[in-house]
Amino acid sequence: MGILEKIAEIEREISRTQKNKATEYHLGLLKAKLAKYRAQLLEPSKSSGAKGEGFDVMKSGDARVALVGFPSVGKSTFLSLMTSTESEAASYEFTTLTCIPGVIEYKGANIQLLDLPGIIEGAAQGKGRGRQVIAVARTADVVIMMLDATKGDVQRELLEKELESVGIRLNCPKPNIYFKPKKGGGLSYNSTVPLTHCSEKLVQLILHEYKIFNAEVLFREDSTPDEFIDVIVGNRVHICLDSRFHGTHSLQRIHW
3-state secondary structure the chain: CCHHHHHHHHHHHHHHCCCCHHHHHHHHHHHHHHHHHHHHHHCCCCCCCCCCCCCCCCCCCCEEEEEEECCCCCHHHHHHHHCCCCCCCCCCCCCCCCCEEEEEEECCEEEEEEECCCCCCCHHHCCCCHHHHHHHHHCCCEEEEECCCCCHHHHHHHHHHHHHHCCEEECCCCCCEEEEECCCCCEEEEECCCCCCCCHHHHHHHHHHCCCCCEEEEECCCCCHHHHHHHHHCCCEEEEEECCCCCEEEEEEECC
The domain covering 63-169 belongs, at the CATH homologous superfamily level, to P-loop containing nucleotide triphosphate hydrolases (3.40.50.300)
Separation CA 98–CA 31 (nearest Å): 33
pLDDT of residue 73: 84
For CATH 3.40.50.300, the residue range(s) in the chain are 63-169
Separation CA 69–CA 137 (nearest Å): 11
* pLDDT tens-place values along the chain, 256 residues long: 678 788 889 989 999 998 888 898 999 999 999 888 887 776 655 444 444 444 567 888 898 888 888 888 888 888 888 888 766 554 434 444 578 888 999 889 999 998 888 776 665 566 656 677 777 888 888 888 888 888 868 888 888 888 887 788 877 788 999 999 999 999 999 999 999 999 999 999 999 999 999 999 999 999 999 999 999 988 888 866 444 343 444 444 444 4
pLDDT of residue 240: 60
pLDDT of residue 85: 78
pLDDT of residue 42: 65
pLDDT of residue 126: 60
pLDDT of residue 115: 87
Residues in the chain: 256
Separation CA 179–CA 219 (nearest Å): 9
Query: Among 130, 111, 106, which Cα is nearest to 120's?
Result: 130
From the number of C-beta atoms within 10 Å of its C-beta (0-12, 13-18, 19+), residue 87 rates as: buried
